[in-house]
């Protein structure tokens, strides 16, 4: 069944903003909807105080609606499988996009906030991608009301892209995670361009655990790999607020100055340097009490590197040294 509402402003929309919001990203939380035989229901996210939603176009697995907050009007696109049934977090495919909706006189900049998730229950696979561009990275996406005081967006929330992937296949002894958050620079206030493709910072975490097996007991031996990378800053590169609403706040470092000694080499780094920690461990096929381990710490900004290999590390295995400020909890095997 198709439904057409008062969608008179959509075609040719210049994607411009109106007034104020209190956080970066979408005006309502992602995943605030469900589906029944392909019919999408957004009541869960549209029933909050101050939120009004009006359907514009609807079909099986597809919805376009107008979302109004106290200060903004958005268009939301929701897409799923035509026969999907269930909560958003259980669906095999879910995509949701918000764009600000206004006339040119109400603001000066465009933007988009979008998330897409793909799942496969049989293999424990889940992949999500989130995008924030232009003024949708700000607490106040419009720059129309310069005299209005809006709480500035936290620099860590000004990311451009966030990716996450997990695979958990217990039957085949395999587990994998991948997480990435990237930040791009805002252009200078003088030319008012809201966004750019210049990368100023990122965080990446990769883990992989797999059963490597042996002739007697194929599931008894494991291999574990972990790599963590931090570089640059969050937010943007401007250090002065312009206008007075906290758009251009100074970013915070994604890597914090510290040092770590691995294999007798002390590697140091400053705030914002590109640092990479890698650890690999594999249980010995010949013994239940030992493992091979390999650890590397790099400062790719200065090309400093320290590494160490141990072919008879005691089980359970863990890194000989670790730096928790930037890299969190030390890994271990098993």
Residue 107 pLDDT more than 50? Answer: no
Q: Which residue has the higher pLDDT, 127 or 22?
A: 127
User: pLDDT tens across 133-144, in order?
Assistant: 877 877 656 544
User: pLDDT tens across 23-41, in order?
Assistant: 467 888 899 999 999 999 9
Cα 163 from Cα 131, distance rounded (Å): 9
Q: Which residue has the higher pLDDT, 197 or 90?
A: 90
pLDDT band at 4 (very low <50, low <70, confident <90, very high): very low
Measured in degrees and rounded to the nearest 5, phi and psi for residue 34 equal: -145, 175
Q: What is the pTM of this model?
A: 0.83
Number of Cβ within a 10 Å radius of residue 291: 25
User: pLDDT tens across 228-262, in order?
Assistant: 999 998 876 544 444 444 455 567 899 999 999 99
Residue 322 pLDDT more than 50? Answer: yes
Give percent of the chain above pLDDT 70.
76
The answer to whether 155 touches 237, Cβ cutoff 8 Å, is no
pLDDT band at 201 (very low <50, low <70, confident <90, very high): very high
| CB proximity list for 195: less than 8 A, separation 6 or greater | 133, 134, 137, 160, 184, 186, 187
């Amino acid at each position: 069944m198709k439904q057409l509402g008062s969608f008179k402003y959509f075609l040719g929309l210049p994607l411009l903003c109106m007034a104020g919001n209190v956080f970066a990203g979408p005006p309502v939380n992602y995943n605030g909807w469900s589906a029944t035989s392909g019919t999408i229901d957004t009541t869960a996210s549209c029933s909050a105080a101050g939120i009004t939603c009006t359907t514009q176009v609807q079909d099986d697995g597809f919805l376009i609606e107008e979302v109004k907050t106290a200060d903004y009007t958005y268009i939301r696109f929701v897409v799923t499988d035509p026969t999907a049934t269930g909560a958003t977090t259980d669906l095999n495919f879910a995509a949701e996009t918000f764009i600000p909706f206004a006339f040119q006189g109400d603001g000066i900049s465009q933007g988009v906030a979008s998330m897409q998730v793909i799942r496969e229950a049989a293999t424990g696979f889940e992949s999500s991608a989130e995008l924030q561009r232009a003024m949708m990275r700000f607490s106040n996406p419009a720059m129309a009301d310069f005299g209005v005081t809006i709480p500035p967006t936290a620099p860590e929330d000004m990311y451009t892209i966030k990716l996450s992937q997990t695979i958990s296949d217990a039957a085949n002894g395999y587990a994998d995670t991948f997480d990435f958050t990237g930040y791009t620079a805002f252009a200078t206030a003088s030319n008012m361009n809201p966004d750019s493709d210049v990368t100023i910072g990122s965080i990446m975490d990769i883990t992989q655990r797999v059963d490597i097996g042996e002739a007697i007991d194929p599931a008894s031996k494991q291999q574990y790999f972990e790599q963590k990378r931090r570089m640059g800053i969050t937010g943007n590169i401007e250090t002065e607020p312009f206008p007075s609403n906290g758009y251009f706040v100074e970013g915070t470092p994604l890597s914090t100055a510290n040092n770590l000694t691995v294999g007798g080499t002390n590697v140091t780094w400053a705030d914002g340097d590109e640092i990479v920690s890698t650890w690999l461990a594999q249980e010995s096929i010949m013994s239940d009490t030992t493992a091979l381990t390999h650890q590397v710490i790099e400062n790719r900004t200065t090309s400093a590197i320290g590494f160490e290999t141990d072919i008879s590390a005691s089980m359970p295995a863990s890194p000989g040294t670790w730096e928790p400020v930037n890299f969190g909890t030390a890994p271990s095997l098993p």
